Amino acid sequence: MKHTDERIPSGDAARVKPVDRAAAETDRDGATVLPFNRYTDFGSHWPVPAQGEVLVVPLGGLGRIGMNWTLYGHAGRWILVDAGIAFADETLEGVDAIIPDPAFLAPIMDRLDGLVVTHAHEDHIGAIDRVWPHVIGCPIWATPYAAAMLERRFDEAGTLSEIDLRTYPVGGSFEVGPFSIRSVRMTHSVPEPVALAIGTAAGTVLHTGDWKLDPEPLIGEPADLDALRAIGDAGVLAMLCDSTNAHKSLPRTSEAQVREAFKRLFAARKGQVAVVCFSTNVARLASAAVAAESSGRQIALAGRSIRNSEETARSLGLLDSVPHFLAEPAHLKGLDRVQTALVCTGAQGEERAALAKLARGDWRLPSFGPGDTVVLSARVIPGNEEAVDKVVSKLRSRGVEVLMGDESFEGAPLHVSGHPGADELRELYGLVRPRFAIPVHGTEMHLTAHARLARESGVEAALVTEEAEVIRLSHAGACVTGHVPVPKLHLASDERGNRVVLGRHGIAAV
Ligand SMILES: [Zn+2]
Ligand SMILES: [Zn+2]
């Protein structure tokens, strides 16, 4: 069976294989990368990482949003950091997620010591219950919140007993094979996001995960800047860091500002109010609960995933000071409109999510109409604009006022990003002072902007690489040595919601 890779060749000299010596020694997207060995197509013979080096292989998350999978190799062994999905756009009919084809990890499967999860967003954990335990069986390490979310999924799939799921505390250290890992508390739009300082005999690589610097994250504490500085003091060979907002110079923002906006809005409106956010944005739904209480409203959660997320967060004590939600949205019926509030899933316009149901007038939800307000407290992910527009228009045609995430209410933002702007990135580079920067988590535009910023911050080189490329880091330098063949797998859900494999990219069926 023929597998094709979906990367689009761009004509960059470094991507032509093999490169000639003269071209190889020129800058790669402006980075001085020395020494640049012959670019290799590793085929089924994956490189064997030596004692004196760290190999980094980002299988996803580069040139696209989503599908974060990063392999680290050292002293003959490998670990994987995160195993997420990318959402398919509408050009791929019937496909609901894309992942790197795990079958292509076969050559290193017996040397894969563990999967380490940075946080519980779908683009970081979404593939795990689809791939473990049947295709990959290595132990999974996660913080309590991410572990509980995964446990629930494995339990539903009936495979929990076959999984080796281990919990590590935020800020805790642990060993996986030859890697000494220290987790560092960060802030992001989900509970317990961590950066991972991955220590090896060849140096430390800091994998930031998704982060921002929020002085008042509401759930959990602010990022541990002292730990980051200490890791920087000890010396960091390279940093793989979030590029989502690298091209933007953003003001510093906080969840506390959104809570303030909700309080003002909930108090000012005379009709029903619904907040729409990602189900794992526990601080956001907590803010809605707090705003509801302070304005004398009852509040419920609409959507299975948001109820699961709230239940998990509450069981871990993350919502101890937050008022409870009603058991069912239907319990809001019959209340005065000014006493009613709702938190919904469906901020990306998903047809089966609660917001779309609200827009359709589903009988299980309170009926929204003139005088009522819906707040889309989330960013619309590029590619989903049309779906969101459709739901928003439907709500507006019912007379509902819809406020978008980039709007503010009485001066306070209705949504803030969970990713760092250029300013926060500069601050992190100042603390960590890595020798090399490898921008990740972004399209080429984001990665290039991030690389420029990293160079200005004083790194020796910033490497803009592609998915499945092999980056060798050692005291001698950083270089892109070649690539491994890892095509993409398309996943779909059947009518019962079970996830099935639809096909490999470029092939009709498996
Ligand atoms: Zn992410
Ligand atoms: Zn995230």
Kindly list the distances between the CA atom of residue 389 and the CA atoms of 127, 251, 264, in Å, as whole numbers in the listed order.
28, 27, 26
pLDDT band at 7; cut points 50, 70, 90: very low
Q: Which two tokens stand for residue 284?
A: 């956001």
| pLDDT, tens digit, 9 for 90 and up, residues 212-249 | 999 999 999 999 999 999 999 999 999 999 999 999 99
Which ligand has the shortest distance to the CA of 194? 2
Kindly give the distance from the C-alpha atom of residue 194 to the centroid of ligand 1, in angstroms, as a whole number.
12
Reported as type and span, the H/E element at residue 448 is: helix 444-456
pLDDT band at 40; cut points 50, 70, 90: confident
Cβ–Cβ under 8 Å, residues 417 and 244: yes
Mean pLDDT, the chain, rounded, equals: 90
Kindly give the distance from the C-alpha atom of residue 281 to the centroid of ligand 2, in angstroms, as a whole number.
10
Domain coordinates in residue numbering, the chain:
31-249+418-496, 255-413
Kindly give the distance from the C-alpha atom of residue 170 to the centroid of ligand 2, in angstroms, as a whole number.
16
Q: Which DSSP string corresponds to 299-323?
A: EEEESHHHHHHHHHHHHTTTTTTSP
Kindly give the distance from the C-alpha atom of residue 188 to the centroid of ligand 1, in angstroms, as a whole number.
10
Identify residues whose C-beta is under 5 A from ligand 2, the ion: 121, 210
Kindly give the distance from the C-alpha atom of residue 411 to the centroid of ligand 2, in angstroms, as a whole number.
26
Kindly give the distance from the C-alpha atom of residue 419 to the centroid of ligand 2, in angstroms, as a whole number.
8
Kindly give the distance from the C-alpha atom of residue 210 to the centroid of ligand 1, in angstroms, as a whole number.
5
Domain 31-249+418-496 has CATH 3.60.15.10: yes
Which ligand has the shortest distance to the CA of 278? 2
Kindly give the distance from the C-alpha atom of residue 413 to the centroid of ligand 1, in angstroms, as a whole number.
22
For 205, the 3-state DSSP assignment is strand
Please state the length of the chain. 510
| pLDDT, tens digit, 9 for 90 and up, residues 397-438 | 999 999 999 999 999 999 999 999 999 999 999 999 999 999
Kindly give the distance from the C-alpha atom of residue 193 to the centroid of ligand 2, in angstroms, as a whole number.
8
pLDDT given for residue 88 in this prediction? 75
Which ligand has the shortest distance to the CA of 242? 1
Kindly give the distance from the C-alpha atom of residue 221 to the centroid of ligand 1, in angstroms, as a whole number.
20
- Whether the per-residue pLDDT at 65 is higher than 60: the answer is yes
For 487, the 3-state DSSP assignment is coil
Kindly list the distances between the CA atom of residue 306 and the CA atoms of 344, 377, 382, in Å, as whole numbers in the listed order.
8, 14, 22
Kindly give the distance from the C-alpha atom of residue 243 to the centroid of ligand 2, in angstroms, as a whole number.
12
Pick the residue with more confidence: 353 or 18? 353
Residue type, 420: P
Which ligand has the shortest distance to the CA of 124? 1
Q: How far apart are CA 408 and CA 257, in angstroms?
A: 10
| pLDDT, tens digit, 9 for 90 and up, residues 376-389 | 999 998 888 999 99
Kindly give the distance from the C-alpha atom of residue 354 to the centroid of ligand 2, in angstroms, as a whole number.
22
Average pLDDT over residues 254-264: 98
pLDDT given for residue 96 in this prediction? 82
Kindly list the distances between the CA atom of residue 429 and the CA atoms of 181, 437, 456, in Å, as whole numbers in the listed order.
20, 9, 10
Percent of all residues in the chain with a pLDDT value above 70, rounded to a whole number: 88
Kindly give the distance from the C-alpha atom of residue 396 to the centroid of ligand 1, in angstroms, as a whole number.
31
Which ligand has the shortest distance to the CA of 188? 2
Kindly give the distance from the C-alpha atom of residue 172 to the centroid of ligand 1, in angstroms, as a whole number.
21
Which ligand has the shortest distance to the CA of 212? 2
pLDDT band at 26; cut points 50, 70, 90: very low
Domain 255-413 has CATH 3.40.50.10710: yes
pLDDT given for residue 492 in this prediction? 81
Query: Mean pLDDT highest for which of 29-43, 86-100, 262-276?
Result: 262-276
pLDDT band at 503; cut points 50, 70, 90: low
Kindly give the distance from the C-alpha atom of residue 251 to the centroid of ligand 1, in angstroms, as a whole number.
20
For 251, the 3-state DSSP assignment is coil
